[in-house]
């Protein structure tokens, strides 16, 4: 059986992408969770994960002795191994567009990702208001996201970005949690899409597990005003 190594569910947005993709698609896997105790070379997390992958990062997919790292590589491997799951859209043009927006997420939106780290259990509307006021990069990233999602929903008719669930929705699921956590401005159409993503069984399962962790890591939360 496939094995997926992930980090803390409350904080690990990249782990969430691979986990939600497999869970929502019904791909069986065994999970190994490695707790974040720090990211320096001597941390328990780094010592454990560097035994498995040269990148020293999660998520990591294991298929027997084969290790696949990086979320895009994991998504492509799963799409090849499970074509019946239709992880990418069937239409060639839509498939290319889906890969493009996932790659954009993978390499971009650094303002939103750095100033609004994923924190599922938190409600940080006050912090979010300050970030929105002070960080032009966050406002720019959110504007791009909203325009992208609005266009895809209109083009494909919803309820998700390319109609049915795809890699793209798994890829943006952690962003949906950020928009909720920090109460960032959204149009009604986008708020409805975010609600649908957060209600997906795979996303809800991850969220429930994140809330159950009760594992507050101060080094992951330098932006938090209070707890």
Name every residue whose Cβ is closer than 8 Å to that of residue 175 and which is 6 or more positions away in sequence.
105, 109, 112, 145
Q: Hey, which residues does 165 pair with through a beta bridge?
A: none
Nearest CA to 18 out of 142, 102, 123, 126 is that of: 102
Q: What is the pLDDT of residue 226?
A: 65
Architecture in CATH of 3-85: 3-Layer(aba) Sandwich (3.40)
User: 111 and 140 in contact (C-beta within 8 Å)?
Assistant: yes
pTM of the model: 0.94
- Residue 216: pLDDT band (50, 70, 90) is confident
Q: Which SS3 state, helix, strand or coil, does residue 195 take?
A: helix
Q: Return the pLDDT at 41.
A: 77
Determine the pLDDT at residue 55.
Answer: 85
Q: Tokens 């009604």, residue?
A: 188
Residues written for the chain: 227
Per-residue DSSP letter, 201: H
Q: Is the pLDDT of residue 182 over 80?
A: yes
Tell me the backbone φ, ψ of residue 60, rounded to 5 degrees: -140, 125
Geometric angle at alpha carbon 216, from 51 and 185, rounded to 5°: 105
DSSP line for 39-83: SSTTSHHHHHHTTT-TT--S-EEEETTEEEESHHHHHHHHHHH-G
CA 57 to chain centre: 15
Cα separation, 96 vs 2, whole angstroms: 27
Q: Rounded to 5 degrees, what angle do the CA atoms 104, 108, 111 make?
A: 145
**Is 92-211 the same fold as 3-85?**
no
pLDDT band, residue 227 (cuts 50/70/90): low
CA distance 185 to 168: 21
CATH fold of 92-211 reads: Glutathione S-transferase Yfyf (Class Pi); Chain A, domain 2 (1.20.1050)
Ranges of each domain in the chain: 3-85, 92-211
Instruction: For residue range 146-160, list pLDDT tens digits in order.
Output: 999 999 999 999 999
* 15-26 residues labelled b (16+ CB within 10 A) or e (exposed): bbbbbbbbbbbe
Q: Which two tokens stand for residue 119?
A: 């924190």
């Amino acid at each position: 059986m496939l094995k997926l190594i992930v980090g803390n569910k409350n904080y690990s947005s990249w782990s969430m992408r691979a986990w939600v993709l497999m869970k929502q698609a019904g791909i069986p896997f065994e999970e190994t969770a490695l707790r974040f105790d720090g990211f320096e070379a001597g941390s328990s997390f780094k010592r454990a994960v560097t035994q498995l992958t040269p990148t020293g990062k999660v998520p990591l997919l294991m298929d027997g002795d084969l290790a696949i790292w990086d979320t895009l590589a994991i998504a492509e491997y799963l799409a090849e191994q499970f074509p019946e799951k239709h992880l990418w859209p069937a239409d060639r043009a839509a498939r290319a567009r889906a890969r493009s927006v996932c790659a954009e997420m993978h390499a971009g939106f650094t303002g939103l990702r750095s100033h609004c780290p994923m924190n599922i259990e938190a409600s940080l509307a006050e912090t979010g208001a300050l970030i929105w006021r002070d960080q032009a990069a966050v406002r720019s990233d959110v504007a791009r996201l909203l325009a992208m999602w609005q266009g895809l929903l209109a083009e494909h008719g919803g309820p998700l970005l390319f109609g049915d669930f795809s890699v793209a929705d798994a890829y943006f699921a952690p962003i949906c949690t950020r928009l909720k956590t920090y109460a960032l401005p959204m149009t009604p159409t986008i708020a409805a899409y975010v609600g649908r993503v957060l209600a997906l069984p795979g996303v809800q399962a991850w969220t429930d597990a994140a809330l159950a962790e009760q594992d507050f890591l101060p080094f992951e939360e330098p932006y938090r005003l209070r707890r």
